Each structure stands twice: as C-alpha cells, then as structure tokens.
A and B are shown apart, each in its own frame.
Chain A
Amino acid sequence: MKTIELKMNGIEVEAEERTPLLKIAERLGIRIPTLCAHPLVEPYGVCRLCTVEVHQRNRVRMVTACNYPATNGIEVLTDTPRVRRDRRMIIEWFLARSGRLPLLQALAEEYGVTEPRFGLGDDPCILCGLCVRVCSDVVGANVLGFFNRGTTREVSTAYGETSEQCIACGACAYVCPTGCIEIQDEPALVRDALPLGPMTPIYIPTMQAVPHQPVIDHESCIHFKTGGCEVCASVCEPKAIDHKQADRVDQIDVGTILVATGFQAVDAKRVPQYGYGQYDNVFAALQIEHMVNASGPTNGQVVLKDGRTPESVGIIHCVGSRDKNTHEYCSRVCCMYSLKLAHLIHERSHAKIYNFYIDMRAPGKGYEEFYNRLLLEGVEFIRGRVAEVSDWAVTPGEKGKLLIRVEDTLAGFVRRIPVDMVVLSTGLEARSDAEAVRRLFNISCSSDGWFLERHPKLAPVDTFTDGVFIAGCAQGPKDIPDTVAQAGAAAAQAMSLIDRGAVELEAYTADIDETKCSGCQTCVPLCPFTAITFNREKKVSELNAALCKGCGTCVAACPSHAAEQHHFTDEQIFAEIEGVLVA
C-alpha cells in the first residue's frame, strides 16, 4: 500500500494510505477520547466523541478520527476550540441518556460540561455497540444485536431470550466501557461432572492443578469452530497462547516401561437405586472431596445444590464394591475415606452424620483410632446395606429430604432415615481402556481388569513381559502409602535393569539348520518379530537369535525339521509325551 504524508497537530508524519486517523494519533501519543472504539474490533464511528478537524486544501471538515482514512497532504487538528465545542455537545447528549455513569461524568469534567442542558439519564448502556461487535466479529457467536430504532434502540439477544449460542466467554462484559454487562458468578452451585468442567474454554482445571496453568478445551473453544475470537491470545501480555499448537507424536526408544495408569471411580449411576443423577443432593464421594477442599468451588463449605447447609448427611459405603452386580472385590480405600468425609462434613456443617457400612475396614497406623474418634464425635454408624434412596416423603417432616431405607442388622429392624444429603462412597475399578492399554504393552489383565502381576506375593510389580512394570492402582485398588511403596519398588526394578545395561536373552530361542533348510520359506511370514529372513544368495532361511522371542511357531511349521527350539526340541517333547503316558 502506498505511503502518504500528513500533518497531525503540526507534526509531520508518514503513514500507510487510508490508515484511520485514530491509529496515527495513537502512534504519535496524541490522546483522542473515544467511547465506541476498541483495539479488538473494527471502528464503528457511532459515538462521535473522537471528532477532529481535518484541513485539506482549503476545506475544513469535522470527522470521526476512529474511521476517517488518512490521505496525502491532509492536516489534522485534534484539540482546537471547535473540536472541544463539538465534543462538549456530544457529551451533553450522552449525559442526557446515561448521565449517572462515572465514565461520562469524568468526560464531562474533562471538557468542562458543568451544566448539562439536556438532563442526566439513567440508562447504563450508551449504545456504543462494542459488545455487539465483539460478539459477532471476534467471537463469532452472534448473540447480541441492536434492536428497535430511535429512542427505543437497545442491545439485546434475539427476542430478549436467553441465548443458547452464548458461550459465556465474557467478551461482551470485557469490552463494555460502562460495566453494564455482568458475568454472574455462582459459587454456591456445585457442578455435576468431575472435574467440575470448564467455565470457559480456556480454564485452569482446579486450584491444585499441576502445572497451575490454563488449558484450552478443544471441543468448546470458539476459535476452532469459527476461526475467530482468540481474545485470550490477544490479551495475553507475554504472548503465551498459541492456538496452532498441535499434538505432537514423538517416538522415544526405551528399555523399560512402568505402567501406572491408575484407576477410575465406579460410576455411581451403576447403582441406580441410590438415585445418583436423579436426585439433586445425591453426591459421589469425589464431588464431596472437591467441595470440602478450601480452594474448591465452595471455598470448603459443605452445601446442597441450592446453597443451603445440610442438617443431616448419609454416607453409603461399598457403592460398586463387594457387590455381585458391579464388583465383588473390596476397593480397600473407601471405608477410610468415608470416615474422613464424615469427619470433615461434621466439622464444616455440624450436620448429623450417618455412615452405612457392611464391615469397617480400618487397617493401618492410626486408622482404627480414627474410627474410634468418629464414634466419639457422634457419627452414627449403621451396619446394613442401604436398599434404596428416594424422595418419597410420607410425613410432612420428610418433605424435601432424601429417604434412606436400610436394614440395621445390629439393631434388627428396617429403618427409614431422612437426610438432606447423600454421599455415595464409590469404589475403584480398572480404567475402561485397560484392555487396549494392556495389549499395547503386551501384559495380561486379572479377572477384574487390573493389570496382572507376575506373582501375587513374590513379584507384585513385575509383569510377565520383561522390562514392563506396573505400580499403583493399575495393579489393584490400594491407598496412597501402598501406591508410593509400589512405585518405589517398580522404579527400583526398572533402575536395576537399566543399571545392568544388558538383558539376558531367553535360552529357548529357535535355530535353523542351514544344512537341512530347503528354502521353502514357510517360516518367514510366521515370525511377528521378523526374526526370520530369507537369504537370497544362500537360498535358505536365517534366524536372528537376538530378535527371537522363543515362541516356537516356526519350529512347529517347519516341514523339513530344519528349525528347532532350544529346550523344546521335538525329541524332548516326544519324550515328555512318552513319559506322561507311562502306565
């Protein structure tokens, strides 16, 4: 584009042709007041406050600096008496609409408007259109627009209804110069899913997130849908945001692998009689963990969905554990964490706490003592498997509560206990992708889906595949101290393997006798480890013992008896057959 020369306030300056005067002023450090301009959006020229004088040849024009294009040879004056007079008028008109706004009062004072002739209005919105423009041009959501004409002109959503297109990005509130758009914060509400879900597409997962940095949710980020927005990137001063960052696949050659992929919580919906997902105040244990955390969504307060503090809480043990319908095993950690939650809930809310248990499993240092403490704190322990949780109130006192039906096996009768909040102590289970993961690493799973250790007593962190170790809940449900111990053990094993620097090959590799091999190539496609290649010069198949894993498949297939497996030769196996059949 062409470069032109102009003068602004007497300063000679060069600029690209058609650059808006406001931009040139900014470059020169000349301040021109605006109401409807913003670096994020295209100029609109609606507030007129940026009016300046432009002299061209012998003509003088009053133009809006935000959108007037610079041309060669013009002279711009931004602060003449005429300009100031025009701005005063504009301010008076704005005061007539929104005179109470501090923003306008500041302007009035700056320009010496002491007696507004048209009164002071109450409208918080000055119709600058920044919110509309940001929503359509930058974010691409097109939620806000101008409606009606003349004095009834207003900014609104379609039909004035809550828009489903609004992604709550907050851009409109961000650009609004008067602060008349607010984003409501609702700390009393606890969200359904864990993690609590992003408020905005760019978010920090939790207060304890490591690293404590925002991430962008690909699914909901508007930039990936429309190519627009990128507000986050434009406001980030160190320019740390790059939407173009893509997944990178790196290949790293390693000699040992430690699989510590953990567990997942049993989905409480699998025990439908407890009403999770059906009743508002039935929570899974992890949600309560989140809630009681001082940096959580409620700052550590224990509250119901509607923000009230519960007066009674029922904690149901063994949800998804010790149950033929879900998992038969005991998840090991739930009794202790249930006791912990009972203690914390009691501390925060002084609610009456009931724990419904089958057995109280409190092994370990100080655990039984903690249980005793809760007994002394007045937590009521009821031994019985809860039959159901419902909201079917029978008496007026039960209205609005959740009713727990349980057989109190120690007292010997069925009880009906109304509570405000129900906490489900969900068990641990193998992750849903455990099958795929274990195939990737060529290890086995136990019957419950946990990864299989080489020996339950003597080799709990080894697997049957040399060089692959497992640790933590991936191997079976356990608490943190045990996990840490296993992690240390597995790391030590891996380290010793690395330290040794060499791997002992199995002795039972196969071997091809060149003098017997006819080169029929039957064995070549059979080896998944590509240990067998056909030597086209010698016209025989050759086996690389370093690659051979010793399965013996090639040996069984070889029609010439040229391939043999050390320690599993045909002769040895024939001898075994004879041996076991000796009468």
Chain B
Amino acid sequence: MPEKPKVAFYWCASCGGCEEAVVDLAEDILKVVEAVDIVLWPVALDFKKKDVEAMPDNSIAVAFINGAVRMSEQEEWVHMLRRKSQLVVAFGSCAHLGGIPGLANFTNKAEIFANSYFDVPSVDNPGRVVPLEKSGGNGETLTLPEFFDTVRALDQVIPVDYYLPGCAPPKDLIMNAVTAILTGQLPPKGTVLSPSKAACDVCPRKDSKPDKIEIAEIKRITTSIPDPEKCFLAQGYVCMGPATRSGCGERCIHGNMPCRGCFGPPDGVYDQGAKFLSAFASLLTAKTDEEIDALIDQIPDPAGTFYRFSLPTSIMQRKRTRVES
C-alpha cells in the first residue's frame, strides 16, 4: 500500500482558532485523516519535537503552519519544519500577514513586559521581576525562548509555498487546498489560495451601492447599528471590503458587521492599509482643512483599523522608534 502523505500542523503566536478551523471540517476531517498521516499536531496529538527532528528532510508532504513568529522557539520550529517539508502552507491571517498578534508591532518587548508584569494596577510586582531567558537555581538552568520586539509573518522567516488566508480560513477553502495538494493540482508557488478580486465583487450588498459613494460622516459599530441591507461604506462605516480579497463567504457581512480585512489585500497591492486609506480618504466629502480634520477625527485609531491583520507585512512593518546612538 502506498504510503499516505505526511502532514504536519504547527502553531506559532496564535489564538487556536486555526486549529478550530481544521476541527470545523467536521465529518470532512475524517476524509482528511483517512487520506493523510498526521505526524505533528500539538493541540491534538502527542508528537514531540524530537520526533520531528528525527524525520528526514522533505519527508513531510505539507506543513500547515499558523500563527505569527514572535519568539525564538517559534523561529526554530518553523525553520525545522521548512527543512522537513516539501511544501509549507502559511495557514490563517497570522501566518499570512502577521495577524492580530502583529498589532504588537506598535510597541516593543520592553513596553509589553512592563505592561504585563508590573505596570498594570492588577499586578503586584514591586521587584519588577520579568521572565528571563536564563534563570534557575539549585543547579538547574531554566530557559525560556527569546521574546522578539517585532512580530513577523511566516514568509518573513522562512520561504512559504502557499497561503491560506483568513481569520480563520473557512472550511471550503481548507478543503480545496487540501484536495489540491493531495491530487497534485497546485497553482504556481506563492499563490494565495483564494480569489484575488476584492470582497466587493461577491458582497451581498454590492447592488445597494449608490451611483456615487460619498462619506460625510464616519459611523462606528460601537455606537450605531448598520442598516442590514446597505453597503457599509455607503453608510459611512469603515469596511475594508474594497481592499480585501474575497473567498471568505462574507461571513461577517452576513452578521451585519463590516469587513475587517482578514484575508489580506488583492494581488498587486503591497500595503493593504495604505491602499484602503487612499480609497477611503478619496470618498470623504470634506474639502477644507478644518472639515477634513474633523472627519478624520471620527476614526480614533486609523493605523490599528487599517492594519488590523497586516501590520507586519505592511511596508513600514512596525512602528519606528529612534535609536539613540
């Protein structure tokens, strides 16, 4: 009997949602499980690092890696999985673009540690003790992975063959990808496994767009409920649809929530946040300096909103701080 292709799942800086997405395949998962040989899946199966280390290079058919890379342990693992695998698929927004963890690029290790370990009122840590990479006592050395200042997407650490976008990738996209891999019918390397056209193309509210979209007032979902029939942008809500590739099934739209851009930009766009900014600002109706300022003030956190999933893979990648020499 021919050997079943080996498949690995690994998670870096993630929420676990991508693992859920795999589980969400429900009965389809049985098809997957039957067809492949899962050699690594930390959330579900008990394989260890040494098991993977023992495998020959390129012996794993495909490694699905989700999560962003922000610690040395993750960096080490993904390098190893790259060596051991023929194909590496960046699974989910975090691996594809940097994802939500990527928002940490607005800050750095020092600030994060300070906030987590001693600055917040709920923590009592007068000694300002923080986790150390090396610590120990009684003859024992304890190590912790290095915590990097900057969060990176998967392809900023290792070469990636395919991308499965989404937070988390929808069921049918995963099934299509797995099927394609198993049947060897793959598009060119580097392809994002989702249609490139922006979400507006398939949005159920597309026909409700007026002849001219003009935004005179910016609305927020925190303070108002959108009309369930009309295009969000036309109503004044920030909807990243125009700058986000499609394929997600418009789950958020159906839930009366504007798109947040988790699938990343269409092909040819280098910086999703910048392009959306350009499109959105062009639709504002304000003309004078004062009017424009007042309108823009209605978005409290534009960088966080426009780069919600894509900060590490944007052109700036992270917030810049002066390094005093």
Contacts of B278 in A (CB 8 A): 556-557, 559
Assess whether B283 is interfacial by the CB under 8 Å rule.
yes
Contacts of B283 in A (CB 8 A): 522, 525
Contacts of B197 in A (CB 8 A): 516-518, 560
A541 CB, min distance to chain B CBs, angstroms: 11
Contacts of A370 in B (CB 8 A): none
Choose, from B76-84, B148-156, B208-216, the stretch at the interface: B208-216
B279 CB, min distance to chain A CBs, angstroms: 4
B227-269 interface code vs A (CB 8 A; 1 in, 0 out): 0000001000000011100100000000000000000011111
A516 CB, min distance to chain B CBs, angstroms: 7
Alpha-carbon distance between A326 and B211 when the two chains are bound, in angstroms: 50
Assess whether B275 is interfacial by the CB under 8 Å rule.
yes
* Most central of A518, A534, A557 by chain B CB within 10 Å: A518
Q: Is the CB–CB distance between B206 and A516 below 8 Å?
A: no
Contact among A526, A556, A559, A561 with B276 in the assembled complex (CB-CB below 8 Å): A559
Assess whether B143 is interfacial by the CB under 8 Å rule.
no
Assess whether B198 is interfacial by the CB under 8 Å rule.
yes
Q: Is the CB–CB distance between A560 and B206 below 8 Å?
A: no
Q: Is the CB–CB distance between B266 and A561 below 8 Å?
A: yes
Contact among B199, B211, B267, B279 with A522 in the assembled complex (CB-CB below 8 Å): B279
Q: In this complex, what residue of B is CB-closest to A521?
A: B209
Contacts of B268 in A (CB 8 A): 516, 560-561, 570
Question: Which residues of chain A (544-583) have a CB below 8 Å from chain B?
Answer: 553, 556-561, 570
Q: Is the CB–CB distance between A557 and B200 below 8 Å?
A: no
Alpha-carbon distance between A525 and B279 when the two chains are bound, in angstroms: 11
A535 CB, min distance to chain B CBs, angstroms: 12
Alpha-carbon distance between A326 and B302 when the two chains are bound, in angstroms: 49
Alpha-carbon distance between A570 and B278 when the two chains are bound, in angstroms: 14
Alpha-carbon distance between A534 and B206 when the two chains are bound, in angstroms: 12
A-B contact count (CB 8 A): 73
Q: Is the CB–CB distance between B213 and A522 below 8 Å?
A: yes
A41-74 interface code vs B (CB 8 A; 1 in, 0 out): 0000000000000000000000000000000000
Assess whether B282 is interfacial by the CB under 8 Å rule.
yes
Contact among A517, A524, A559 with B269 in the assembled complex (CB-CB below 8 Å): A559
Alpha-carbon distance between A68 and B233 when the two chains are bound, in angstroms: 83
Contacts of A557 in B (CB 8 A): 278-279, 282
The total of chain A residues at the interface (CB under 8 A) is 20
Contacts of B211 in A (CB 8 A): 524, 534
Using A525-B213, A553-B282, A557-B282 as known contacts, say yes or no to A519 and B200 having CB atoms under 8 A apart. Answer: yes
A504-544 interface code vs B (CB 8 A; 1 in, 0 out): 00000000000011111110111000000010000100000
Q: In this complex, what residue of B is CB-closest to A555?
A: B278
Using A516-B266, A553-B282 as known contacts, say yes or no to A559 and B212 having CB atoms under 8 A apart. Answer: no
Q: Is the CB–CB distance between A561 and B267 below 8 Å?
A: yes
Q: Is the CB–CB distance between B214 and A525 below 8 Å?
A: yes
* Most central of A520, A521, A526, A557 by chain B CB within 10 Å: A520
A280 CB, min distance to chain B CBs, angstroms: 49
Alpha-carbon distance between A560 and B240 when the two chains are bound, in angstroms: 11
Q: Is the CB–CB distance between A559 and B198 below 8 Å?
A: yes
Alpha-carbon distance between A558 and B200 when the two chains are bound, in angstroms: 13
Q: In this complex, what residue of A is CB-closest to B272?
A: A559
Alpha-carbon distance between A559 and B275 when the two chains are bound, in angstroms: 5
Q: Is the CB–CB distance between A560 and B243 below 8 Å?
A: yes
Q: Is the CB–CB distance between A518 and B213 below 8 Å?
A: no
Contacts of A521 in B (CB 8 A): 200, 209, 213
Contact among A525, A526, A559, A570 with B242 in the assembled complex (CB-CB below 8 Å): A559
Using A558-B279, A559-B278 as known contacts, say yes or no to A518 and B200 having CB atoms under 8 A apart. Answer: yes
Assess whether B293 is interfacial by the CB under 8 Å rule.
no
Q: In this complex, what residue of A is CB-closest to B206?
A: A519
Using A558-B279, A559-B276, A561-B269 as known contacts, say yes or no to A524 and B198 having CB atoms under 8 A apart. Answer: no
Q: Is the CB–CB distance between B242 and A520 below 8 Å?
A: yes
Q: Is the CB–CB distance between A520 and B196 below 8 Å?
A: no
Assess whether B201 is interfacial by the CB under 8 Å rule.
yes
Contacts of B266 in A (CB 8 A): 516, 518, 559-561
A521 CB, min distance to chain B CBs, angstroms: 5
Contacts of B212 in A (CB 8 A): 524-525
Q: In this complex, what residue of B is CB-closest to A561?
A: B268
Contacts of A559 in B (CB 8 A): 198, 242-243, 265-266, 269, 275-276, 278-279
Contacts of A517 in B (CB 8 A): 197
* Most central of A526, A556, A557, A560 by chain B CB within 10 Å: A560
Alpha-carbon distance between A522 and B209 when the two chains are bound, in angstroms: 10
Using A559-B275, A560-B243 as known contacts, say yes or no to A526 and B199 having CB atoms under 8 A apart. Answer: no
B190-226 interface code vs A (CB 8 A; 1 in, 0 out): 0000001111110000100101111000000000000
Alpha-carbon distance between A522 and B282 when the two chains are bound, in angstroms: 8
Alpha-carbon distance between A520 and B208 when the two chains are bound, in angstroms: 11
Using A518-B242, A520-B198, A559-B243 as known contacts, say yes or no to A526 and B282 having CB atoms under 8 A apart. Answer: yes
A536 CB, min distance to chain B CBs, angstroms: 8
Q: Is the CB–CB distance between B196 and A516 below 8 Å?
A: yes
A358 CB, min distance to chain B CBs, angstroms: 44
B277-298 interface code vs A (CB 8 A; 1 in, 0 out): 0110011000000000000000
Alpha-carbon distance between A517 and B211 when the two chains are bound, in angstroms: 16
Q: In this complex, what residue of A is CB-closest to B197?
A: A518
Q: A516-B267, A570-B268 are in contact. List 18 more A-B contacts (CB 8 A).
A: A516-B197, A516-B266, A518-B199, A518-B201, A520-B198, A521-B200, A522-B213, A524-B211, A525-B212, A558-B279, A559-B198, A559-B269, A559-B275, A560-B197, A560-B242, A561-B266, A561-B268, A561-B275
Q: Chain B: residues with CB nearer than 8 A to chain A?
A: 196-201, 206, 209, 211-214, 233, 241-243, 246, 265-269, 275-276, 278-279, 282-283
**Can you list 5 residue pairs at the A/B interface with Cβ under 8 Å?**
A518-B198, A518-B200, A522-B279, A534-B211, A560-B242
Q: Which are the 7 A-B pairs with shortest beta-carbon distances?
A: A561-B268, A518-B198, A520-B242, A559-B243, A520-B200, A518-B201, A525-B212
